Chain A
């Protein structure tokens, strides 16, 4: 599907270039060249009809503006250009019709690239105005003046379209975004802390692969200290900021804390500025592998090293229990490779964490293994896997378990050995990748109806609402802070349909809740129930996920490719 979106774009470019080239060739009286290019453009236009039909069959989200805006423009272009071509005596007389077709194709292409979903009347009218204006200018420049009626009509339509389109485009958004009224939720009483930690954020120089790197670090180390707890503990984490001027917070990624402890600046708390502190308290009642990171200027902060591991165990660890938080710090991969001998028969749990903004590929060589948990939730009936890689989305966690064999095993991340029990040489690049939607034993979905449905169509588009225009990452055609807040009531069963129209992966992350995967691209999930907090919505993907609204507050709901979140792909979900 992703490649279909790309192919459609390429064909649209070829068609527009063909019409424009044909027009230019006709203007230069290059008859054969003009005919050849126009024929090529016509062929590409027919090809585009095929790709757009295929996209529409995959989902209306993928094809809306192509059918509603590009469709009529293309039909008009073909209707004007082709008859002129067929009865042209002087090839120069078809220059303007061919250029018109080219402008129509280019305009439609710009709508897809700059505006996207949903198709709007404003964008359509502005495109019509642009196409007519460009055609009128070409007409004058090429010297063949149109008749008075034609040019007056064209000018009237262009001006009308321009005025109406601009009016519609700059009209204020229908629904206001979340109002930050600075009345944060009160922290609930959790009892006397049994595990206390202090994390001090500050600039630091850390050594990675033999190089000194300027980083932002908790307690001077990257990653920050590993926070561990056993079920029943009460955690108290004091966050101090020494010198991070842009502020820090702690967000417990994947750990569903009460809203007041979620660490989202301006939504659940104020950012902690240099010299200030904030105390987080919550119960260790959710077993699994999690991580923490700053949510204040999170794109820069996490990349520079403000992250660490949080593990909650059901009981003190037995066997070998290793956390592998993968990160890229200043272009250098973390963690440093580690080798430790493990006695045959020892149970091993590898807690794989992806703290980067893009997907990583993990391959465990030398032993069969099971994926015991994903995003902190145990899987149902995981079967042994061998010579199979797993792809972990940005922010995601997989727990791999196995019994150590007598021979060495090694974990490779993107081909680099990160953890091993001895020397292993294995070529893992060609291994198949595990699809978690078909892994393990299914259980029925606990809900039969959904109280609230929200579509989330992910795309790119021009955002003109800020101080400077930007090419934003958008949700339903809007960018933060203009994306309407999703409002739910406590107890609602909520379904998200997440559609990726763009050409890049968007790892989706809802705070405060785990979502159950219902289906991907129309195919229901048939494996173990998957309760995820971070999942990759690939280009062309349509994911249906659901959750019960059982954690009141205002929650961030965003793409965990943090530069994308920073560029607009961030909204909020709140309880009424």
Chain B
């Protein structure tokens, strides 16, 4: 199960890389129609959430520490936030539908949030790989410590 966790986090990372590629595809598609970001939207709203849920499931089944499970869950919140930021940025236009400085500032958060999400997934992937390695003595000690009162 720990191997499976490593595999699914690797696939997730790959999906995130593709997601950035699809963002660029959308940005450079001419003419910029509604369909330009279709790949980006589908990946962001279906593929990545599904992979995130799989990661959480495998993390729980692999009896990963709570910290890793929490870290694996985090992208789910970030993805919802990401969709909300996109919606807000698209709605913060002037009366004739043109972009506004404030709207573009919010749109910038979409990129920042994406970078944060990638870092989280990298951390989950590293955690999963550590978990898959034979447990060294130090790791066992930490696990014992966690059960004790502070």
**Which B78-106 residues have a C-beta within 8 angstroms of A?**
80-81, 84, 87-88, 90-92, 95-98
Q: Which of A185-193, A271-279, A288-296, A358-366 contacts B (4 or more CB under 8 A)?
A: A358-366
Given A9-B84, A9-B88, A28-B67, does the pair A359, B150 have CB atoms closer than 8 Å? no
Q: What residues on B are CB-neighbors of A306 within 8 Å?
A: none
Q: How far is the CB of B102 from chain A (nearest CB, A)?
A: 10
A17 near B77: Cβ-Cβ < 8 Å: yes
Given A28-B67, A92-B150, A106-B77, is A141 in contact with B31 using a C-beta cutoff of 8 Å? no
Any B CB within 8 A of the CB of A336: no
Q: How near does chain A come to B75, taking the closest CB pair, in angstroms?
A: 13
- Contact residue among B66, B91, B97, B149 (Cβ-Cβ distance under 8 Å from A142): B66
* Residue among B66, B77, B87, B95 making CB contact with A503, cutoff 8 Å: B87
Q: A6-B91, A17-B81, A330-B31 are in contact. Are A27 and B147 (CB under 8 A)?
A: no
Contact across chains for A141 and B66 when beta carbons are under 8 A apart = yes
Chain B proximity mask over A316-360: 1 for CB below 8 Å, otherwise 0? 000000000000001110000000000000000000000000111
Q: Per a CB cutoff under 8 Å, which of B32, B77, B88, B98 touches A6?
A: B88
Residues of A within 8 A of B98 (CB): 414
Nearest-neighbor residue (CB-CB) of B94 within chain A: A361
Check if A400 is an interface residue, CB within 8 A of chain B.
no
Give which listed residue, B33, B45, B92, B147, contacts A143 with CB less than 8 A.
B147
CA distance A504 to B91 in the complex (A): 6
Find residues 31-80 in chain B having any chain A CB closer than 8 Å to their own CB: 31-34, 45, 60, 66-67, 69-70, 74, 77, 80
Tell me if B60 and A141 are in contact (CB < 8 A): yes
Residues in A neighbouring B146, C-beta threshold 8 A: 143
What string of 1s and 0s marks CB contacts (under 8 Å) between A38-82 and chain B?
000000000000000000000000000000000000000000000
Q: Complex Cα distance A224/B92, Å?
A: 34
Within 8 A of B (CB), among A120-158: 137, 141-143
Tell me the bound Cα distance from A360 to B95 in angstroms.
8
CA distance A512 to B88 in the complex (A): 35
Chain A residues with CB below 8 A from B74, complex form: 24
Chain A nearest CB from B6 CB (Å) reads: 20
Is A90 in contact with chain B by the CB < 8 A criterion?
Answer: yes
- In the complex, are the beta carbons of B70 and A24 less than 8 A apart? yes
* Size class of the contact patch on chain A: 35 or more
Given contacts A17-B77, A331-B30, A332-B31, A539 and B150 within 8 Å (CB-CB): no
Taking the complex as formed, is A458 at the interface, i.e. its CB lies under 8 A from any CB of chain B? no
Q: How far is the CB of B68 from chain A (nearest CB, A)?
A: 10
Asked if A433 contacts B95 (CB within 8 A), the reply is yes
Residues in A whose Cβ lies below 8 Å from that of B34: 563
B59 → chain A closest CB, angstroms = 9
- Given A143-B146, A330-B31, A563-B34: A13 and B66 interface contact (C-beta under 8 Å): no
Set A16, A137, A331, A504: member contacting B31, Cβ < 8 A: A331
Residues of A within 8 A of B (CB): 2, 6, 9-10, 13, 16-17, 20, 24, 27-29, 90-92, 106, 109-110, 113, 137, 141-143, 330-332, 358-361, 391, 414, 433, 471, 503-505, 539, 563
- The interface of chain B, by Cβ under 8 A from chain A, is 30-34, 45, 60, 66-67, 69-70, 74, 77, 80-81, 84, 87-88, 90-92, 95-98, 146-147, 149-150
Contacts A90-B149, A141-B60 aside, 16 further interface pairs with beta carbons under 8 A come to A9-B84, A17-B77, A17-B81, A24-B70, A27-B70, A28-B67, A106-B77, A106-B80, A143-B66, A143-B147, A331-B31, A358-B97, A359-B97, A433-B95, A471-B45, A503-B88
- Residue pairs across A and B with Cβ atoms less than 8 A apart, 28 shown, are A2-B91, A6-B88, A6-B92, A9-B88, A16-B77, A17-B81, A20-B77, A24-B74, A90-B149, A90-B150, A91-B150, A106-B77, A137-B60, A141-B66, A141-B69, A142-B66, A143-B147, A331-B32, A358-B96, A358-B97, A359-B96, A361-B95, A414-B98, A433-B95, A503-B87, A503-B88, A504-B91, A539-B91
